[in-house]
Amino acid sequence: MPDIGSVRTRNRDTVFGMCRAPDIQGRGNIVGMRTYETTILVNPGSARNDYEGTIATIRAAYEGEGAEWIELDKWEERKLTYPIAGQTSALYLIGYFNGPTDIITKIERRARLTDVIMRQLIIARDGKAYEAIRVQRARSAERAATREREAERDRDNEHDRED
């Protein structure tokens, strides 16, 4: 491999924009494929009226450009700092997908043509980062369940003392 135009990083070799990035199972994707994380701001009105249709529209927009979804989750609806297209709030979605290295510009172009997506941010991730996020989510869910069980046990103990 020539030294000009190639960069050695901790997790992957990059040569003229073509990468071998690990996929979610830890195997190497084919050259030219990457794992991406996206945060999408969705028009809250369309999401409230037809959530499944909104998600289907977003999935189709990405898949139409060659993306393979790993995960797409509803995050929360939040008030915006400033209005976007007359909207003061948006539904936030977070997702992970695999796609070719040239997919971002194609998705951005397609997103501008849809009324559902208000804004989006796409960043390149590797499989290890996604796995770390999954582990963190599982631990958070486990801690929340433990807190709920403890609160329920405390309520039961209070109820028993009152009797």
pLDDT in single tens digits along all 163 residues of the chain: 333 443 444 444 433 333 444 444 444 444 578 889 999 999 998 888 999 999 999 999 999 999 999 889 998 899 999 999 899 999 999 999 999 988 899 999 998 888 889 999 999 987 676 677 777 778 888 888 888 888 888 888 777 777 6
88 is written with which tokens? 């003061």
71 lies in which domain range? 10-127
Tally of structural domains, the chain = 1
User: Can you point out the beta strands (E) in the chain?
Assistant: 6-8, 13-15, 18-19, 33-42, 68-84, 87-100, 117-125
**Residue 49 in tokens:** 């009226």
Per-residue model confidence (pLDDT) at position 140 = 80
Residue 62, C-beta contacts closer than 8 angstroms, at least 6 positions apart: 38, 69, 97, 99, 107
Report strand pairing: 13-15 vs 18-19: antiparallel
CATH of the domain at 36: 3.30.70.60
The DSSP output letter for 20 is B
pTM for the full predicted model:
0.62
Q: Does some domain include residue 39? A: yes
Task: Specify if 90 maps to a domain.
Answer: yes
Tell me how far apart the alpha carbons of residues 127 and 135 are, in angstroms, rounded to a whole number.
12
CA distance 144 to 149: 9
First to last CA, the chain: 78
In a domain, 75, yes or no: yes
Both tokens of 139, joined, read 């631990």
- Predicted pLDDT at 54: 92
- Does 110 reside within a domain? yes
Residue 68 and residue 18: Cα distance in Å, rounded? 18
Residue 31 lies in a domain: yes
pLDDT of res. 37:
92
Identify whether 136 is part of a domain: no
Residue 158 belongs to a domain = no
